[in-house]
Amino acid sequence: MNSRCAPRENPDDVARSRTQRARAAWRHRRPHDGMELANESHGAGHRCAGPFMSTCEEHTQMNHAEMQFLSTEYPYKKQYGNFIGGKWVPPAGGEYFDNISPITGEPFTSIPRSRDADIEAALDAAHAAKTAWGRTSVTDRANVLMKIADRMEANLQRLAVAESIDNGKPLRETMAADIPLAIDHMRYFASAARAQEGGISEIDHDTVAYHFHEPLGVVGQIIPWNFPILMAIWKLAPALAAGNCVVLKPAEQTPASILVLLEVIGDLLPPGVLNVVNGFGLEAGKPLASNKRIAKIAFTGETTTGRLIMQYASQNLIPVTLELGGKSPNIFFADVLNADDSFFDKALEGFTMFALNQGEVCTCPSRALVEESIYERFMERALKRVAAIAQGHPLDSKTMIGAQASHEQLEKILSYIDLGKQEGAECLAGGERNAMDGELKNGYYIKPTVFKGHNKMRIFQEEIFGPVLSVTTFKNEEEALKIANDTLYGLGAGVWTRDGTRAYRFGRAIQAGRVWTNCYHAYPAHAAFGGYKQSGIGRENHKMMLDHYQQTKNMLVSYSDKPLGFF
């Protein structure tokens, strides 16, 4: 084991035993074992007002209940209901579960543990609303979406703080990316719906074929835990713009920020148009995904669960949109080091993108391919860049990487770090849990970790969903392409080169739905997003997404009085 990656220490033997069992379960599972249906250092110190904070003070701890250093109030209540038919209602069975903040590892609110009866109630409300909402003019629906975007913008910091507390991601990301992108997606689909056109075809002088876009009716949506609000909006914006009513189930790991969103925007939609039901995968997700009363199911999450979703949909012969896992290659050609300039600095930043959102991104560039001739020089600078990633309290504006979203995810990532060491990968950075102080001591923090190995190792082939980067080398373009495409997945990829022709050629040859060229982790509303191979079915974003939530009505109309002439 490389000395730079210290062995993990546990506080007591009991915890160590539990951890070893959990890691063993992950290490020895088959790559595609079935899982339950789910949606799937600098510590405390100086916290100075940045672009997201309103004061500059010394704090030794950040307590969720004491938000005085932010220009917003604490966003959460002690308990929530489901949002059904425009009202907050308790779960039918009266059960709740504690929602844990990954920042502290402690519960901060309680959430409905819903089951079949709650899903059916939400579907009742959606079906009661679908006819009127589906017949609403496109202009009126677009105006509602614009109002939603405006309301979100007016509450941007409240939503951003809620997202960071629920998910553990840094406030600087939720303020600058997650919530602004969600707002932009709402506005984009409001405009895209108004710009959508049908079609008229002349069959002959007296016969015309009309084509109309009509909503599917009531659709189900299951949201992941890595970008709760943004992923909800990715699905809600086109569905609502197209005239559908929605029953949405958030991930049980991060259900609360979406409920704050509903507190902000819920009154802008007619009752029943948007319904949110919380709960666990088998208890609430499966009853929604397999329900005969939905006309479509959209899911973002782990590939194994995506297979189950597709099975449920096939029983009801309904369309699916699946945005699933990835193991994205990030390829650095030798010419990035032709000069020590701003482009090279940008490439180094591209290398560190594996740590964005704590690596909990389906397109995480978790495989770095570096041309052999520059490996030593490139990695010397790249590892310094990784070492400069500041980990701390997510509500600190200086924090670059926060906490993993759940204890389960923390253990999964640590199990893969152990696996990488056992496989013989060289640990170049990190490789352990980050022991934080004060309020953060029980939070779910992992140091950004870099391994060097080869592409046949499991840490190169399996989605870890954490701040773990696996680095290998290539000799030429042919080998780079072979390594890049040697994966079950095909969601994203990155290409870094000063040669525009090579960049285009590689972009076309890589088997991935999105290829970033000399950039990474950009998610504009008007760029189609989706995967090849086992990374999913269908696309999200872009105006083409409206088609996923519509069906085409053709009317073939004769304006002639003449007989047809058949009988």
Q: What is the pLDDT of residue 469?
A: 99
Q: What is the band of 70 on the pLDDT scale with cuts at 50, 70, 90?
A: low
pLDDT at residue 334 is higher than 60:
yes
Q: What is the pLDDT of residue 73?
A: 87
Q: What is the pLDDT of residues 281-307, one digit of tens each?
A: 999 999 999 999 999 999 999 999 999
Q: What is the pLDDT of residue 67?
A: 53
DSSP helix, strand, coil percent of the chain (3-state; round to 5)? 40, 20, 40
Angle at 176 between CA 187 and CA 357, to 5 degrees: 110
Q: What percent of the chain has pLDDT over 90?
A: 87
Whether 349 is a known active-site residue: answer no
Q: What is the mean pLDDT of residues 229-240?
A: 99
Residue type, position 116, single letter: D
pLDDT at residue 502 is higher than 80:
yes
The pair of structure tokens assigned to 547 is 């088609």
Instruction: Of 99, 110, 128, 100, give the one whose Cα is nearest residue 275.
Output: 128
pLDDT at residue 15 is higher than 80:
no
Instruction: Measure the CA–CA gap between 338 and 15, rounded to whole angstroms.
Output: 50
Instruction: Measure the CA–CA gap between 274 and 88, rounded to whole angstroms.
Output: 12
pLDDT at residue 60 is higher than 70:
no
User: Alpha carbon of 21 to those of 18, 25, 362, 560: distances in Å?
Assistant: 5, 6, 26, 77
Q: What is the mean pLDDT of residues 559-564?
A: 96
- Residue 241, burial from CB neighbour count under 10 angstroms (0-12, 13-18, 19+): buried
- Residue 388, burial from CB neighbour count under 10 angstroms (0-12, 13-18, 19+): exposed
Q: What is the band of 368 on the pLDDT scale with cuts at 50, 70, 90?
A: very high
The pair of structure tokens assigned to 293 is 């009363």
Lowest mean pLDDT among 48-52, 59-63, 128-132, 352-356: 48-52
For the chain, give the mean pLDDT. 90
Q: What is the pLDDT of residues 194-204, one digit of tens each?
A: 999 999 999 99
Residues 6 or more apart whose CB falls under 8 angstroms from that of 420 comprise 427, 451, 453, 457, 459, 468, 470
- Which CATH superfamily is 75-323 part of? Aldehyde Dehydrogenase; Chain A, domain 1 (3.40.605.10)
Q: Position of tokens 């029980």?
A: 442
Say how many C-beta atoms besides its own lie within 10 A of residue 210's C-beta.
13
Q: What is the pLDDT of residues 262-277, one digit of tens each?
A: 999 999 999 999 999 9
User: Alpha carbon of 332 to those of 237, 344, 350: distances in Å?
Assistant: 36, 10, 9
The pair of structure tokens assigned to 148 is 């939603």
pLDDT at residue 39 is higher than 50:
no
Q: What is the pLDDT of residue 271?
A: 99
Q: What is the mean pLDDT of residues 508-522?
A: 98
Q: What is the pLDDT of residue 72?
A: 78
Instruction: Measure the CA–CA gap between 47 and 398, rounded to whole angstroms.
Output: 8
Q: What is the pLDDT of residues 390-438, one digit of tens each?
A: 999 999 999 999 999 999 999 999 999 999 999 999 999 999 999 999 9
pLDDT at residue 131 is higher than 90:
yes
More confident position, 309 or 28: 309
Q: What is the pLDDT of residue 229?
A: 99
Domain 329-517: which topology? Aldehyde Dehydrogenase; Chain A, domain 2 (3.40.309)
Please report which helix (H) or strand (E) contains residue 469, including its range: strand 468-474
Please report which helix (H) or strand (E) contains residue 476, including its range: none
**What φ, ψ does residue 225 adopt, rounded to 5°?**
-95, -5
Tell me if 332 sits within 8 A of 347, measured CB to CB: yes
pLDDT at residue 3 is higher than 70:
no
Q: What is the residue-wise DSSP string for 320-375? A: EEEE-----EEEE-GGGGSSSSHHHHHHHHHHGGGGGGGG--TT---EEEEEGGGH
Catalytic residue among 252, 263, 302, 323: 323
Q: Helices 228-241 and 179-195 sit at what angle, rounded to 10 degrees?
A: 10
Q: What is the pLDDT of residue 63?
A: 57
Instruction: Measure the CA–CA gap between 142 and 237, rounded to whole angstroms.
Output: 10
Tell me if 363 sits within 8 A of 326, measured CB to CB: yes
Q: What is the band of 487 on the pLDDT scale with cuts at 50, 70, 90?
A: very high
Residue type, position 411, single letter: E
Backbone conformation region of residue 424, classed left if phi is above 0, alpha if psi is from -120 to 50, else beta: left
Q: What is the CA radius of gyration of the chain?
A: 25
The pair of structure tokens assigned to 66 is 């004491």
Instruction: Measure the CA–CA gap between 73 and 448, rounded to whole angstroms.
Output: 31
Instruction: Measure the CA–CA gap between 308 and 260, rounded to whole angstroms.
Output: 30
* Domain extents in the chain: 44-71, 75-323, 329-517
Q: Which 3-state string (H, E, C) describes 103-148?
A: CCCEEEEEEECCCHHHHHHHHHHHHHHHHHHHHCCHHHHHHHHHHH
Q: What is the pLDDT of residue 64?
A: 53
**What φ, ψ does residue 411 adopt, rounded to 5°?**
-65, -35
According to DSSP, the β-strands at 87-89 and 82-84 are antiparallel
Task: Say whether pTM exceeds 0.85.
Answer: yes
pLDDT at residue 52 is higher than 80:
no
Backbone conformation region of residue 309, classed left if phi is above 0, alpha if psi is from -120 to 50, else beta: alpha
Tell me if 444 sits within 8 A of 401, measured CB to CB: no
Instruction: Measure the CA–CA gap between 78 and 108, rounded to whole angstroms.
Output: 7
E-only strand ranges, 375-462: 426-429, 449-452
Could you give the count of Cα atoms lying within 13 Å of 531 in the half-sphere of its Cβ? 27
Q: What is the band of 46 on the pLDDT scale with cuts at 50, 70, 90?
A: very low
Tell me if 267 sits within 8 A of 147, measured CB to CB: no
Q: What is the pLDDT of residues 375-395, one digit of tens each?
A: 999 999 999 999 999 999 999
According to DSSP, the β-strands at 106-112 and 492-496 are unpaired
**Topology agreement, domain 75-323 and domain 329-517:** no
Residue type, position 144, single letter: V
Classify residue 93 by its DSSP letter.
T
> Three-class SS of residue 111?
strand
pLDDT at residue 8 is higher than 90:
no
Residues 6 or more apart whose CB falls under 8 angstroms from that of 97 comprise 110, 111, 113, 252, 280
